[in-house]
Structure formats: structure tokens, C-alpha cells
Amino acid sequence: MKKNKAAIYPLDAWTVTEEEFTIENNYRNETTFALSNGYIGTRGTMEEAYEFDVDTGMEGNFINGFYESTDIRYGEANFGSPLKSQTLLNLPNLKETRVTVDGETFSLLKSSVRDYSRSLLMKEGLVRRSLIWTTKEGKQIQMDSLRLVSFDCKHILAQRMTLTALNFDGEARVSSRLNAKVENHTRKTNPIVDYGPFGPRLLSGLLTAEGTKLIYVGTTMGSALTMGCGSAVSSFPEEAVTEIMAETGEMTGECILSLNLKKGKPVILDKFMAYASCLDSPEGSLEEFVCKQLEAARQMGMDELISRQKNYVEDFWSRASIQIDGEDSLSLIQGLNFNLFHIFQGAGRDGRCGMPAKALTGEGYEGHYFWDTEMYMIPLFIYTQPEVAKALLSWRFNTLEQARDRARIMGHPKGALFPWRTINGEEASTYYPLGSAQYHINADISYALSLYCQVTGDEKFMIDMGAEILMETARVWADVGSFSEVKNGRYCICCVTGPDEYNVLVDNNFYTNLMARENLRDALEAVRLLREKAPWKLTELKNRLQFEEKELVLWEEIIDKMYLPYDEKRGIYPMDDGFMMRKPWDEERIPPQKRSWLYENYHPLFIMRHRMSKQADAILGFYLHNDCFSEEEIRRNYDFYQQVTLHHSSLSTCIFGIVASDIGYHEEAYRYFMDSARMDLDDYHNNFYAGIHGANMAGTWQALVNGFAGMRMHHGRLSFKPHLPEKWTRLTFRVQYRGSVIQVDMERDKVHFTLLSGSPVLLYLKRSKAGDKPLYLEKGETISEKI
Amino acid sequence: MKKNKAAIYPLDAWTVTEEEFTIENNYRNETTFALSNGYIGTRGTMEEAYEFDVDTGMEGNFINGFYESTDIRYGEANFGSPLKSQTLLNLPNLKETRVTVDGETFSLLKSSVRDYSRSLLMKEGLVRRSLIWTTKEGKQIQMDSLRLVSFDCKHILAQRMTLTALNFDGEARVSSRLNAKVENHTRKTNPIVDYGPFGPRLLSGLLTAEGTKLIYVGTTMGSALTMGCGSAVSSFPEEAVTEIMAETGEMTGECILSLNLKKGKPVILDKFMAYASCLDSPEGSLEEFVCKQLEAARQMGMDELISRQKNYVEDFWSRASIQIDGEDSLSLIQGLNFNLFHIFQGAGRDGRCGMPAKALTGEGYEGHYFWDTEMYMIPLFIYTQPEVAKALLSWRFNTLEQARDRARIMGHPKGALFPWRTINGEEASTYYPLGSAQYHINADISYALSLYCQVTGDEKFMIDMGAEILMETARVWADVGSFSEVKNGRYCICCVTGPDEYNVLVDNNFYTNLMARENLRDALEAVRLLREKAPWKLTELKNRLQFEEKELVLWEEIIDKMYLPYDEKRGIYPMDDGFMMRKPWDEERIPPQKRSWLYENYHPLFIMRHRMSKQADAILGFYLHNDCFSEEEIRRNYDFYQQVTLHHSSLSTCIFGIVASDIGYHEEAYRYFMDSARMDLDDYHNNFYAGIHGANMAGTWQALVNGFAGMRMHHGRLSFKPHLPEKWTRLTFRVQYRGSVIQVDMERDKVHFTLLSGSPVLLYLKRSKAGDKPLYLEKGETISEKI
């Protein structure tokens, strides 16, 4: 296992602070200080002119779901290979606000700076920066700024700049700029990928500068989508401003405010920025829409935006915050809060978009949505912000038509197959062995939505959207495999790729078959629910989908006969039919510097023919469906996979940690957790600059709640099996369950459950020998139990 | 099975004749009348100005092995994906010879033509055309032409044009042209392939026109290879020529001869053309080299070239010609001769190049060399022109270094892995599941060279080249797999693709494992031979290859423990470990118009997950190594594969036919043969325009000799097991064996073996019940046996 690195930032539970600006750390810190509301995302780039190259930084502003397309080229294309790329587009930058005194423009790289500090304020949802600039002539100006991306007004990004002349009276100029000369870095940073928009991709439809207001509307060349954005310095002390000028250049706009600074008297400038696209405001002109948003923000004012932001964020923390007492607790809490904050801010909330693997913090993975959302992020939201989970699942529902089309392309006459990676709902994977072959995406989505409905009790969602997803995904499972005579009539699924991307195009991937079976079970359950509670909906679905009752009989049979590969001698479930036969892995053959993502240095065939695993695969199945296996069985499997797994994915260790907890390998579970908790904050992989590792961030929460506290939801029963790590004296967290908020407070030998709000709930405490103990919890009540 | 189509050309054993020119058939006939000597290839395009578009024709002139490279782009590239394409380059055309009378230039499309006839003369190695042209003014000219690509002078293509004024005395102009404005059609005709040189790719280094001589030298933009070519009208009646003019244009050159025609008096013009490249004449300038070739041809003269051509071709037929008495015999003989002629003329003979899948008749498959050469063409050459087989195998030897490099890229620390498709010896496959994963190429090459050495007794070749190939390929087999505990310690090879391209990346492909085992056996045998006969060579190889004796021990163990998938219940060898588990194939789900190459209309995963086979795979193994299995066993397997094979490859039916013969399914064997014999001549697949199906052409010979006559070479014993098809009364053919020529003459109940030339030979006649009967044959002797 990897050794933890030293902390990069000062330890503080709720704040991440950069105490000194250095160009070496700039690229990474742009991710650390990235802000988002799930709709707009902006990297933590500075207010000043952007002075970085491709190795030291990347300006980035995104609208979730707003993408560009180009033709994809292949050495040899296959039928069904996507021909159009989808790339989250890097949009015009509005944040730039330059300050000039005596003709000298402030620059972090060139100016004399002291008392620099920048903080991510995780309780407020803000980034705050302050510094003192000494001009060449010796003038000192205190420059403070605040930035937020509003959760309350999804189109709004806001900045407050406060300038205080410390040792002089005199003039200054502030230039608020719009820069539409932007382009994605994709190709520059990922030479093996032959797609993505290279060069500027927005055709400017409008660019205006008037007063302090800058407006831009542009349309992408490939996807023909239109976006608009604009900014306005809407609040400033009138007495301090002597002149306002505005002008536009080629793809740029600028508003210049001439200021009269008085020594010691702060001048506060509030700048509002808005982004919108044709995807979410189809009526009227985008120009008008953006202006309206800016005007609304002006009327609301920066103070109100800050206040609402705090309320929104506090509400999240009130349901999600975690306390640890014990060794390293401050460090861990900071790491966990950082993870939760980034996940929390990065998820699409409007049902029109999902959550990219790196949220909106960078261009990595083209901004695509993967299974990460359903298996890593959504479970966290289900228990902390179920409305966000619902929005993300609704987005999947809204792409069902594309998934149906994809199923036809893949040869399935019925049902829906969700894309492995996508923005607009269509498959965007250009290498099917690691892409479309990952059929498990269907079961992952089904799992997440079933969990959502079980935990929230949201039957309406199941009736309106969930059942259709479950039925359509089930139909693909019922078509893709067959009852195989050579496997005693068991149902076999051939030629798929499981989560483990080092074992591709395999037969009977354990995880896939297991999850497919549960997908079918949940679909049957959904049909039963419709029959009982919404027969009209069932009729509608039967008609629209040409769904026949006999399909249900087939599903039952498949569930009954689903094949899971099993090795009698070892008593384990091999990852797939061929896994045990593969060549034993000899790590010694791999030079140490190549012991990471193997595809970088090895041919796929070399990788595939060895008996090793990139990441949690079967083990993920044992986590999600541990009720289907005995603890002893899971232990044997864990021992086996522990030996063969290389953890060359950030989606791996958190899952191993949870299963380690399940089977009582508490020290190992703790080590895994420690490897995950601060992975991004301390940049273990030296690639945080490219964006967050969202799945791992959310996975650390699961490691605590599903791991150490052993929380599970099976068959409508919420259960816990707590075990506090040796080095801690207490772990406290909260989960939302059927509208109620439960606090779980774990000590060495005791656990306390408190119902903080909502209706009474029934929980189960799992005890190794004595069986499950039901706990009925009323509002305000605390039940304490020995563990 | 497919129904035979009607004959396109008049039936004639040795001639294929086009009796009328129509534009609809032009593209196909360009392949029919293509000529080659294995070095130069020229399509059967007309002498006139080329007037066809991409749908009706393609001018084509090639030098075997002369290729252009461009960058290959991938949606996502893998480590080891070839980055440079290799494309057989379409070269400047020299054949064009325009005739003009009274300002009217002859055109097959526009002029008034009668008595048109064009023939491929397979006994002479010529194409002859004749017609009468009536000009708009009523003048009639008899125009005859002869064309050959010289086997004797590998750089020379020659044309004789004879013009006879039939009803007038008067002037004519003959323009001999060079057209370097050429480009490949690749991309135009194959949109799924994203490589190949688009647009003109030769940078002109020299273009001269002087007297009747045109010379061109150009260098490719990507591969930086230089080629030169030139033509000269070297022989003409001086009295008839009134003026000669020469000029060059942009990428063109032209020599114009003004002629004085006398009624009834033929004017004969002999034009010689030469092609050469830096790959085979590295010393001196190509201009000089080409001029020398032209001068040598002039001195030899057209008559001598024609005479030598005939001698060369006759020598081939003296060893390869086949006689059939019985139903359809003329039709079949024509088809067979056509097949043999195209195979015979298309093979590289200089050890510097191989034989493309479509020989030099078109741009199909980029002009790449595949396993087709070793498994389909070389066996034919071994028994008819062993010197050509040797040249082709020598070319493989000459690419061993590239194959070693490829093995390293694929993760093998020792040995050599030959490329799936290539021109320059490097892997050119851009889709590894159907490319580099076909490891069997190593065993195919080894099989062909072992067969060559066994049949010819050429120990020198084995010592000089063969042993090294066998040892290096064996080393890859010894590294790629492992002794698997879950298969009782048997040696398993995972993640390869066998010949069947509908079942890719499988574990334990029967054909691959079987052929690998035999490859290892042959390698051991080669080492034994070296130890005995050339110990100095073994020492040299051990030092140079760092070869250790313990590797031999490992090989022995692998041979002993090679795993072959076996289905106990059915008593058959499944194609691979997962084959029997796949979804049963339901042809009804496939619309009739899509029941051909499935990749055109179906995603690879749809194809891979079904239990069906594109082509002979396991069945090919049962053919090549029928000595390893009982007839009953082969019959069971044949019955099984007969059911699941779709024959979506031209490499399939000929092999099924041979195995059908082996197991006594004589009617079926005959049907398969009838499906193959005239496949190209009658253009069953409507794609002959793109070039010959070389493997099937050679396969029909194998179907006769290895099928109906049951010829095999195992363990140094040449054996026959003849059975004459019901509808025939006689089948006669010849094979060359250890320098001797044997004639085999099969009747219904008897077979006669005659040693036509060479030293005495020992043959075996296989008899179902009585065991093998040895036949010792002396020169001139005929032995007749009952069958």
C-alpha cells in the first residue's frame, strides 16, 4: 500500500488554505479551489490575467452538460462505434478582473506580494483571497476577494473585490474582462485520445460591452449548441468611481472603472457573472436571459448571495458532517470535509445533466458521466441530499430514449442499454473493450435507483421513472445471455467487461452476473409495485414498450438460474470463467516506474492474459450484496482478491476497505481508509491538477458509513454493524432515512442512535452471534447499544 | 450453400475471353486481365486514356513491397498500436498509348468498335486484344495489342501494338504517355479505414521525355521510398514513322509518333516499360537503372520476351496442370487454370517481398501480406514451384528482426512474433482483436516452412533460416501461456484470436493451441537437426539469441501438456473454452441482405457472443494435422462445425471440402469444391473488381490434391488417399517432391502414380482398412493400385 504523504495545507476542519502562491503548485490549486453548483463550474484560477502555460495551469469554466462534438477517427471503425465525440466545453472566462495603479497591472507572478492567503471556506461555500500588493513606486494596496458559485441561483457566479489603499491616496483602474478566446486542453494533455475540440470551437454570435456589462453569445461549431454568458460590476461606491469605459475586441470585452482610492478606505466592487445555455433556457434569447440573471443577482446583492450560500451549505453539513475523535482526527476530518464538499458542489441538480467523473473541476475524461455517479456518488447523496440523488437519476431517465437506440445498435430487439460514458445520453466510448462492453452500467444504474427508492421511500419516483428504467434494463439482461447446456442450464453472459478494466471481454463476469440478477429482481419488484399501486402505469408501459407478461416468467427463470463462476477447490468466486487459468502475475517483470495504469506501457493482450485485477470487481459485488453470501465466504474471496488486485484505479481501495470492515479485518480496513481519505487533498497521485477523483472522494464516506459503521439497506431494512477503528475513541455521522435524520454515534463498545428529526424509524443492529436487533427510534430519542 | 452462377466468359481451358467491351463489366475485367510477375503488377486496364470513375474502374500499377505510410489515428490508441500505415502504392501508369486519326482519338467508350476481343492467354502468360475501329470519317483500322509482365526480366512490362489501316492510306499519331498523377483509391472505397495515402503521394524527383523515352523518378512523402519507372517505344518500322516529338507536362510525359499507314500493311510498335525501387536496386541512380532495363529489353526484343514468357509459364504448367474428365470438366479446368495462373503470377520471387492477399491485382487490404500466403498459397508452391515457396519463406526470415521487436512490444522477453498484416515486416493491423491477437500467424509460418523442408528435403534452408524462425516463434509460445492448475496443469493460452474472426480474444483456441504445439515440435526437431548436422550454427544461434538448453525442456513439457478444449458429451473439440456456452445463433434474426460479413452491420459484441463461426478454424487444424485424430473424431467435429459455420470468408469452404473428403463425405466435398473452383472467374461475391481472392484460388488446388487425392505430408511420409468425385471419370495432376515430378492419375477404382522425372521416391497409399501401403517409384515407372 501507498504511504500517506505529508499534509499540503495547514490542518483545519473547515478550511483549506494556501499560504503562499507558487507557480509550481498553481495547477493543482486550481482544482483545490474550484467552485461549482453542479451547473456552473469554475476552476480556482486567479482574478488576474491568466499567465500560465499548459504545464502550469488551465483556465476552466464549464456548464454541466454543455458539450462540443467533432468527428472521431478510428484505425478501423466498428459498426456502432460512436462517430461524434462529446466534450465538456471550456467556456469564455468572466472572472478576470485586473487592477492597475500608475500603469502597473497587478500580477501574481511579477508583482511584489505579501500576506498572501487563499482559503476554501467549506462551511460557507466560498473562496476567499487576500494579499497586499506593493507597487514599484511603493504604493501598498490591500486586495481582498471573495468568490462563490451560487447554489441558490444556478446561473450565477459572483466575485467581491475589496481594494484598500494602505499608504496613499490616488487613482486605480479596475478592468473587468470577458475572454472568449478559449479552447480545451484535451489533446494537449492526452495525446492518445484522438477526439475533442481542438482550437476555439465557439462561433461568436454576439459580443457587447456597455457600462460595466459584458455579454457574449456563441454557438459551437460541431454540436450546434448555443451558450450565453455575461458579467456586470453591479455594485461599487459611486463616489469612488470617476469614469467607466467599455469596449470589445476580437473575442474579448472589457469594462474599465477608474477609481479614486482614499488611504485606509476600502472600495468594494461586486461583480456578478451568469452562464446559461440553450439546453436549459430554450425560450427567448440567451442574451436577454443572461441579462435577467445579472439583474436578479444585482437586486439580490452580494451580501444576500453570501448569506443564502451559507444557509444552503450549512443545511448540507447538518445532514452530512462527520466527527472523529482519535488519532489524526483533525487531519482526517479535513480530508473528509474536503471530499464531501467537492462531491456536494459538483453534482447536477436539475435533472438535465449528470455528474462528471471529475465533477466540473477539469476537462479530464472529456467531462463524461460514468458509473462512478451511480455506484460512488449517488449512495452518498441518497443518505445526505436525496433530492440530488433524485435529480441525477432523473437525468438517466431522461436519456432512456438514447439508451433504447443504443440497445438496438448492440443487437438487442428490446430494452435499453445505457452508455458507458456520455454527456448527451449517447455512447461516447471510442474503445468498446473498455467501453460499451461494460454492460454492468445498466445494473449499476438500476442498483442506485432501487437503493434510492428503498432509502427514501419515494414510490412516486419508482412509478414515474424507476420502474421503466428497471424494466428496460432487465430486458437487455434477458437478451444478452442464454441458458447454457454446458453449464447445466445456467444463465450465462458472455463477452462483457466488468468493472475491472484489466480483464476485458470475459465470459460470466461475477460482478456483472450478480448485478444483472439483482437488476432483474428489482424489475420484477417494480412490476409488482405497479400492479398494486399504479396499474394504469403498468398498462401504459406495456402498451408503449410492447411489454409482455411472459417476459416476467423469463426473468424469474434467469434469476433462478443465473450462473456465478465458482472455484470449488478454493471456495471462491473467480472474477470470470477464464480468470483462474490466466498466467500468474509476476510484478518483478514490471519496472517500478511502470507499476501504475498498465495500459500506458503494456499492450492490452499482455494485460488481459495475466491473473491480476486492476480494481475492486467481484469485491464490489460482495460489498453491495453481502446479504447473498456468508461472512466466511466473503472472507475467502477477500483473501483471494487481496492477493491479485493491483489497485490501479482510484475506485478500488475504498471498496476493499468496506469489505475488510465487513469481515472483521479492521486494521486492514483502517489502512485502506487512510489511503483514501486524503488522497486528493494531499495529491497522492500527482494528478489532482486534472480534476478531483470524485469516486474516491465519495468512497471515503462510504468507507466510514458502510464500512466502519457497517450500514446496509437490504430488502427494506436499514441495518448497522459498527466497529470503531482502534485508534479512534468516537465516530459520529448522520444519515437521512425516509425523510428522517438519524445521528449515529459510535464509541469503542457502544453505539448511540438518535433521531434528530422526522418520523419514527426502525433500524437493525447487526450482531455477529445474537442476530439482528430491531431498534425503533422516535424523534429526539437516543438508543444506546453495546457492540 | 451458394448456387453456382452462369459462366461469365466462354468456356475454354486455357483462355479467358471478353467478347464485348461494356463499361458495366470494366472494373471486374480489370482484375480478370491483370498481369504480374510477383514484382510488377498491372491491372487489366486499357491502352487508351483512362476514362473511368471510382465506380467503374481503377487504374493500378504496383511494385510488390513498395508502400507509403501515413499517421494512423485512433479513437483511443493502445500501447503498441501501429502509428504508421503501410499501403501498397498505386504508381505512375506507363501503359497508356493513344491512337489518333484525323484528330479523332480512339476511345473504347466513344468510338465505333467492332470485332472486339480480349483474351487472357494462360499458357503464354499474355493478354491479347484486337478490334476494328471505324473513325467518324469511315476509316477502318485494325488495332491489335499484346501485353506481358515478364517473368524473365522482373522489371519489365511490355506491350506490342499492331495497327493496320484496312480501307485507306493515311496518317495516324500514336502517343505513348506517362501519367504520374496517380493516387490510391483506398479511402474512397473503404470508408471505415482511416489510413492510407490520400491524394498523390509521390514527390516528383525527375520527369523527362526524350525521343520515345519517358522517365520518372519519385519519392513517397511518408515512407520516403524512391521508385523509378520509364517507357520507350523501342521498335517500330522506321519507314512508317514520319516524326517523333516528346514533351513533359505537370506530372505527365508524352512521346508522339506520327505514322504513315499503308492500306493492309500492319505497323508494329513495341513498347517496353520498366519499374524499379530503391528497395531492390540500391546502388546507382534509379534513372540509370530504369534506362538499363529498357535498353536490355530493347536488345532482347519483344519476340524473345514472348518466347521466354511462354517457356517460363509452360514450365509451371508442366508441373502444375490438372486434367479432369467428367461432368463440367471444361468449366472446372478453366476455373482451376485461372486460379492457378493468378496465384502463380502474383507471388513475390525475390525474397524481398511476400504475396499480398489479392496479389498485385488491386489495392484491397492495403496490399498487405497475411497468413493467407503461408496456409493457402505456399503449400501450392511447395508442390509446384518450390523455389517460389522458398522465396516467400525467405522474405519472412528477412523480417525476423521486426518480429523480434514486435514480441518485445507485446511483452515477450524472448522470441519473435510475426505481424498479422504487414508490408515492411512491422505490424500494420489497427484493430488488435482481429489483428495482433491472431498469434497463430507464428505457427502458420512455422507450419509452412516445415512443410517446405519436408517436401523438398531442403536441409540447407532449414539450417540457414528455418531453424531460427522455428526457435524464435517457439519461444513466444513458451511465454504466452502457462500451466494452469485449474486445467490439471495443462498448458493454456489465453486471450488470442484464432482464424475465426467472429470469435475473438478467446481462451484456448483449439487451432492455436494445436498449431503452437506442432510449432514447438518442429522447433525441437530443428534443434536436433542442427545439433547433428550443423552444430556450428546451433552454437551461433545460442550465442546470438541467448538461447538456453533449459528452454528445450520447457518446450517438451508444453508439448506434452498442451491443453485442447474438449466437450466430453459431444466428443468434439470446441473452438475455444467459451464457445459452447455462447448464445445459439438464430439466422432468422438476420435479414437476408445482411447475411454476409457481419461486422458491416453488427457490433463486435453481438457477433462474439453467439455460438457460430465465420470460417474454418478448428476444421483447419483437423485438415493440417489429421494424423493426430481418428477419422471418427474428425467426423464428429466436422458434423458439429458444419452446423455452426457461416462461411463468411473466402478462406473457408475449400478447407471444409478437404476435411469432407478426408472423412468420406464425398458429395459434400464436391459441393464445396464446386462452390470454390470458379468463385472468382464467375465473380460469385460481386467484388472481384477489388482484386483476386488468392487464398480461395490456391485453396481449390488444395481441395483437389489434398482433398480428392487425399495427399498429406506427415513425419516425412508423403501419402495419398484418393477418391474420385462421382461425376468424374478421371483426375490427373502432378506434384513435385524432393526434386522429382510425380503424376497422379485417379480413376474410379484405380490410381496410377508415375515418376515423370527425378530420383526415385517412396510414397504411401492410405487404405482405410489395410493400413498404408508403401510404393517405391522409379523414374519413368507407373504403379497402378486399386482404390
Q: What is the Cα–Cα distance from A400 to A468, expressed in whole angstroms?
A: 9
Per-residue confidence at A217, pLDDT binned at 50, 70, 90? very high
β-sheet bridge partners, residue A129? A118, A145
Residue from A581, A586, A596 whose CB has the most chain B CBs within 10 Å, to mutate: A581
> What are the backbone dihedrals phi and psi of residue A208, each rounded to the nearest 5 degrees, phi first?
-130, 150
Name the 3-class secondary structure at B442: helix
Average of per-residue pLDDT values in chain B: 95
CA distances, A497 to each of A494, A699, A748, B522 (Å): 9, 22, 42, 37
ipTM higher than 0.85? Answer: yes
Q: What are the residues facing A500 on neighbouring strands? A: none
Q: Which residue is listed with cell 457600462?
A: A211
Indicate the residue type of A756. L
pLDDT tens track for A6-28: 899 999 999 999 999 999 999 99
C-alpha distance from A243 to closest chain B C-alpha (Å): 53
For residues A364 and A689, give the distance between their C-alpha atoms in angstroms, rounded to a whole number.
Answer: 10
Contacts of A21 (CB under 8 A, 6+ apart): A108, A113, A116, A118
| C-alpha pair distances (Å), A216 with each of A68, A287, A291, A404 | 17, 7, 11, 37
pLDDT tens column, B464-473: 999 999 999 9
Which residues of B are less than 8 Å from A580 in CB distance?
Answer: 484-486
What is the distance between the alpha carbons of residues A443 and A457, in angstroms, rounded to a whole number?
Answer: 20
C-alpha A724/C-alpha A746 separation (Å) is 7
Grid coordinates given for A399: 436519456
The bridge status of strand B782-786 relative to strand B773-777 is unpaired
Q: Does the distance separating the beta carbons of B79 and A600 come in below 8 Å?
A: yes
User: Rounded to 5 degrees, what are φ and ψ at B496?
Assistant: -125, 165
DSSP characters over A396-421: HHHTHHHHHHHHHHTT-SSS----SS
The neighbour count for residue A456, using CB atoms within 10 Å, is: 20
Least confident of A259-263, A657-661, B277-281, B675-679: B277-281
Q: What is the pLDDT at residue B194?
A: 57
Place of cell 468611481: A241
Which chain A residue has its CA at the smallest distance from B497's CA?
A605
pLDDT in the model for residue A123: 97
CA–CA min distance A83, chain B (Å): 9
How confident is the model over B699-719, as a mean pLDDT? 96
Q: In this structure, what C-alpha cell is assigned to residue A475? A: 430486458
What is d(CA A199, CA B771) in angstroms, rounded to the nearest whole number? 76
Whether the CB-CB separation of A140 and A133 falls below 8 Å is answered with yes
Collect all residues of chain A within an 8 Å Cβ-Cβ radius of residue B74. 73-75, 192, 194, 430
Please report residues of B whose CB lies closer than 8 A to that of A368.
none
- Across the range B161-189, mean pLDDT stands at 91
Sign of CA dihedral B314, B318, B320, B322: positive
- The model's pTM: 0.95
Closest of A413, A232, A345 to residue B586, by C-alpha = A413
| Least CB–CB distance from B76: residue in A193, A600, A605 | A193
What is the mean pLDDT of the segment spanning B250-269?
A: 96
Q: Please list every residue in chain B whose beta carbon sits closer than 8 Å to the beta carbon of residue A599.
A: 78-79
Neighbour-count burial for B452-475, b at 16+ CB within 10 Å, e otherwise: bbbbbebeebbbebbbbbbbbbbb
**Shortest CB distance from B75 goes to which of A81, A589, A599?**
A81
> CA B651 from chain center: how many Å?
12
The helix or strand, by DSSP H or E, that contains position A191, with its residue range, turns out to be none
B60 in Cβ contact with B35 (< 8 Å): no
- How high is the pLDDT of residue B600? 92
Q: How far apart are CA B676 and CA B276, in angstroms?
A: 35
- What's the rounded Cα separation, in Å, for the pair A314 and A77? 50
Tell me the per-residue pLDDT of A371-416, one tens digit each, with 9 for 90 and over. 999 999 999 999 999 999 999 999 999 999 999 999 999 999 999 9
pLDDT number for residue B2 = 47
What sections of A198-328 are H helices per DSSP? Answer: 286-300, 302-320
**B261 with B163: CB under 8 angstroms?**
yes
Q: How many CB pairs under 8 A join A and B?
A: 173
| Residues B72, A75: C-beta atoms closer than 8 Å | yes
Q: Are B435 and B427 in contact (CB under 8 A)?
A: yes
Q: Is the pLDDT of residue B783 over 80?
A: yes
Share of chain B above pLDDT 70, in %: 98
Q: Say yes or no to pLDDT of A570 above 60.
A: yes
pLDDT of residue A240: 92
- The answer on pLDDT for B198 being more than 50 is yes
pLDDT reading at A194 higher than 80:
no
Q: Are A695 and A651 spatial neighbours (Cβ–Cβ below 8 Å)?
A: yes
Contacts of A409 (CB under 8 A, 6+ apart): A79, A80, B603
Buried b (16+ CB within 10 A) or exposed e, A16-29: bebeebeeebbbbb
Quick one: pLDDT band at residue B197, thresholds 50, 70, 90?
low
Q: Residue B55 in contact with residue B32, Cβ under 8 Å?
A: no
Please list, in sequence order, all residues whose beta carbon lies within 8 angstroms of the beta carbon of residue B80, skipping any fewer than 6 positions away.
A603, B409, B410, B427, B432, B436
Taking CA atoms, A231 is separated from A125, A155, A247, B133, in Å, by: 21, 11, 14, 80
- Asked if residue B148 has pLDDT above 60, the reply is yes
Instruction: With beta carbons less than 8 A apart as the criterion, state whether A430 and B599 touch.
Output: no
Which of these, B677, B91, B22, B638, lies nearest to B328 by C-alpha position? Answer: B677
Cα–Cα separations (whole angstroms), residue A206 to A180, A228, A252, A253: 11, 9, 11, 11
Of A280 and A44, which is predicted with more confidence?
Answer: A44
Cell representation of residue A23: 507557480
Say if CB B509 and CB B586 are below 8 A apart.
no
Radius of gyration of chain B (CA): 27
Instruction: Give the nearest partner residue to A72 out of B75, B432, B486, using CB atoms.
Output: B75
Smallest CA–CA distance from A605 into chain B, residue: B495
The confidence score (pLDDT) of residue A1 equals 39
SS (H, E, C) B668-730: HHHHHHHHHHCCCCCCCCCCHHHCCCHHHHHHHHHHHHHHHCCCEEECCEEEECCCCCCCEEE
* DSSP per-residue letters across A416-427: ----SSBSSSS-
User: Rounded to whole angstroms, how far apart are CA atoms A581 and A503?
Assistant: 12
Q: What is the DSSP letter of B626?
A: G
Position A605 scores a pLDDT of: 98
Looking at residue B64, its pLDDT comes to 97
Average pLDDT for residues A76-94, to the nearest whole number? 94
pLDDT of residue A192: 56
Chain-centroid distance of CA B422 in Å reads 14
By annotation, the residues of B acting in catalysis are 501
- Of the candidates B367, B390, B360, the one whose C-alpha atom is nearest the C-alpha of residue B38 is B360
Question: Sign (positive/negative) of CA torsion B274, B276, B281, B282?
Answer: positive
Query: pLDDT-derived band of residue B3, with 50, 70 and 90 as boundaries?
Result: very low
- The answer for residues whose C-beta is within 8 angstroms of residue B186's C-beta and 6 or more apart is B87, B193, B195, B196, B197, B198, B363, B366
Answer yes or no: are the C-beta atoms of B346 and B360 closer than 8 Å.
yes
pLDDT band at A189 (very low <50, low <70, confident <90, very high): low
Chain A, nearest residue to B585 by Cα? A482
pLDDT tens-digit readout, A101-131: 999 999 999 999 999 999 999 999 999 999 9
Q: Which residue of A has its CA nearest to B406?
A: A603
Grid cell for residue A505: 471481454
> What is the amino acid identity at position B370?
F
In this complex, do A608 and B495 lie within 8 Å of one another by their Cβ atoms? yes
Catalytic residue among A30, A124, A468, A501: A501
Q: Where are the beta strands (DSSP E) in B422-573?
A: 482-484, 490-492
pLDDT at A280 over 90: no
- Is the pLDDT at A2 greater than 50? The verdict is no
**Where do we find the cell 508522339?**
B256
Instruction: Go through A494-513 and write b for each residue having 16 or more CB atoms within 10 A of its CB, e for each that does not.
Output: bbbbbbbbbbbbbbbbbbbb
Whose cell is 432515512? That residue is: A737
Is A411 within 8 Å of B578 when comparing Cβ atoms?
no
Give me the mean pLDDT over the A203-214 stretch: 95
The three grid cell numbers given for residue B66, joined into one nine-digit string: 513498395
Nearest to A581 among B413, B487, B584 (CB): B487
- Which pLDDT band, with edges at 50, 70 and 90, does B74 fall under? confident
Cβ atoms of A724 and A748 closer than 8 Å: yes
Closest Cβ–Cβ partner in A76, A432, A599 for B78 = A599
Mean pLDDT, chain A, rounded, equals 95
